[in-house]
Structure 1
Amino acid sequence: MPRTMPGTSDTGGHPYPRRVSDDGHPALQVRGLVKAFGPKVAVGGVDLTVPAGSFYGLVGPNGAGKTTTLSMATGLLRPDHGQVLVHGRDLWAEPLAVKATLGVLPDGVRLFDRLTGRQLITYAGLLQGLDRSVVAQRVEDLLGALGLVEDAATLVVDYSAGMTKKAALACALVHAPRLVVLDEPFESVDPVSAANIRQILAGYVASGGTVVVSSHVMDLVERMCDHVAVIAAGRVLAAGTVEEVRAGQSLEDRFVALVGGRATGEELAWLRTSSD
């Protein structure tokens, strides 16, 4: 189990307690994951190792298999083949125990949107077995940190896409998980809120937590993450520290070189303005 760092409490005050991992295992190991939907192979043998205490980015083009990989890595989708280890424990052998250590923001998240924001986050905390007084304090902390205080009594169904994303993130963090897996957490989120979220996640990693995040924004991943994997057509093309994967280029240029497909724009010559 994680160890609470000296001078902090496991039972409230902060949205997540300060923790360090002392089990010696990577936070997440994905071994040979395969998933097919009919004749289409969405993930064709993915291997990833996410070091404990890292901020790990997963990047790839649309349809690359990122969401399917993360869904299998967090127990939302059963793989056809392969193994997922979370801090050394087999996810599919101990699903309830391992999932309790995860905080997950899935793609296309569906929430209990007839609850208010405060009720939704409270419900998520109580489902994790936290004491009600602890949940109440953490909910208020998260509402404040994510800029949802003024809308805490509003039904989630009336939230904007960005507000819904922030409420879902709060639900993923309220139980202070050891590993947080976020699929496109900044999509539809305004720049100020995105900056706040990055600060929250950076503080979480600094306290010993581990974050895995998928994103299409190369500059954001390059600035935010210390490790990255490039995935395309259901396979990992490169993985390691950001510096290793960049190989002396910008992450965007390296990504394009690995994935290919950059268009020249010559086929749209008719779109250019002309003085004729």
Structure 2
Amino acid sequence: MKLAGVTKRFGDKVAVDAVDLEVPAGSFTGLVGPNGAGKSTTLAMIATLLAPDSGRIFVAGHDPVHQREEVLSALGIMLEGFSLPERLTGSELLEYTARLRGLGEQWRERSADLLEVLELDHATSTLIVDYSTGMRKKIGLAVALLHRPQVLVLDEPFEAIDPVSARAIEDLLSQYVAGGGTILLSSHIMDVVERNCDRVAVINGGLIVAEGTLECVTGGRTLNDTFLGLVGQAPHRKIKWLE
């Protein structure tokens, strides 16, 4: 996956500013940045939900603007704010997804495996409207993986996930990458990125301010310390009435 000079504006605000980013095939790349840095806008353009104002994007060799169907076939997407059909159960949602994508009967085995690994098999009769936030994250990941995409784009997949479920998701994503898959993941949880990703890109103010292997970017420091050094820290201020 590659972004070359990608820019996106909303009125006078430049949300993404001439971003160049390469995510090598088979890599697990973390995209980190403060709120409003341009992470979600970047992922939305990759996912074909937004068109860039300028620049080019290539996903598995395809251009999302001109080859949207090919990109969506190669891509698994889990973005913040995606709505789900709430009157379906998790297994019904996976069947619905499989039929929309025209998957053969292999979807049944894949669905059962994903529901078990993500610990949703105990809630087979629960409607998504009654899912917790963590359960919604997990079924969203299952939907993204069901068609065995070449590339996964994940926006904050570990938010509201308990530690046991987080480890199950990490193991699942590790298996996916070991099988040749490519992941671009955004997260505010630095230790998750540090533990799982082999590459990292830091975005701030719509600009990529550092990018490369984890070791190259951090230079032996923790990712959290590196991140704060790159994007800056809020000034320390004492609140007298709390003392």
- Measured against the shorter chain, the TM-score band is over 0.9
State how 1:144-163 maps to structure 2 within 5 Å: 144-163=116-135
| In structure 2, distance between residues paired with 1:228 and 1:33 | 18
2:31 and 2:9 mapped to 1: Cα distance? 20
Q: Give the secondary-structure state (helix, strand or coil) at the position aligned to 1:175.
A: coil
Q: 1:186 aligns with which of 138, 158, 162?
A: 158
Distance (whole Å) between structure 2 residues aligned to residue 160 and residue 254 of structure 1: 33
Give 4+ residue runs of structure 1 displaced > 3 Å after superposition.
none
The aligned runs of 1:122-201 (5 Å cut-off) are 122-131=95-104, 133-201=105-173
Query: Whole-Å Cα distance in 1 between the matches of residues 145 and 185 of structure 2?
Result: 14
Partners of 2:82 and 2:60 lie apart in 1 by 25
Deviations 1:105-135 (A, max 9, x none): 011121111111110111112211101x211
Q: CA deviation at 1:198?
A: 0.3
Q: Aligned AA for 1:118?
A: S
TM-aligned CA deviation for residue 89 of structure 1: 2.1
Q: Distance in 1 between matches of 2:61 and 2:138?
A: 30
Instruction: Give the length in aligned residue pairs.
Output: 243
Name the residue aligned to 2:239: 268
Query: Which of structures 1 and 2 has the bigger CA Rg?
Result: 1
Pair 1:47-2:20 in alignment: yes
Secondary structure, in 3 states, of the residue corresponding to 1:267? Answer: coil
Aligned position for 2:91: 118
Q: Offset of 1:177 from its aligned partner? A: 0.2
Cα distance in 2 for residues equivalent to 1:219 and 1:155:
33
Give distance in 1, aligned partners of 2:53 and 2:196. Answer: 32
| Other structure's SS at 1:238 match | strand
List aligned pairs for 1:196-235, cutoff 5 A.
196-235=168-207
More helix by share: 2
Q: Which runs of 5+ in 2 are unaligned?
A: none
CA distance in 2, matches of 1:89, 1:184: 25
Match of 2:73 among 88, 97, 100: 100
Q: How many angstroms does 1:248 deviate by? A: 2.5
Opposite residue 242 of structure 2, the aligned amino acid is L
What displacement does 1:269 show? Answer: 4.3
Q: Secondary structure at the match of 2:170?
A: helix
Conserved? CA contact 1:256–1:262, under 8 Å: no
Which amino acid is the alignment partner of residue 46 of structure 2?
Answer: A
- Structure 1 SS opposite 2:4: strand
Could you tell me the TM-score, scaled by structure 1's length? 0.86
Q: Distance in 1 between matches of 2:132 and 2:38?
A: 27
The aligned counterpart of 1:35 is 8
Q: Structure 2 length as normaliser, TM-score? A: 0.97
- Secondary structure of 1:98's aligned partner: helix
Mind listing any 5+ residue stretches in structure 1 that lack a counterpart? 1-27
SS class of match (1:180): strand
Q: What does residue 58 of structure 1 align with? A: 31
Q: Which residue identity is paired with 1:245?
A: V
Percent same amino acid among aligned pairs? 51
For residue 71 of structure 1, report the CA deviation from its aligned partner.
0.5
Q: Does 1:250 align with 2:222?
A: yes
* AA partner of residue 115 (structure 2): L
CA distance in 2, matches of 1:79, 1:37: 11
Return the alpha-carbon distance in structure 2 between the equivalents of residues 176 and 82 of structure 1.
Answer: 28
| CA displacement, residues 139-180 of structure 1 (integer Å, 9 cap, x when unaligned) | 111100100011122110110111011011100000000000
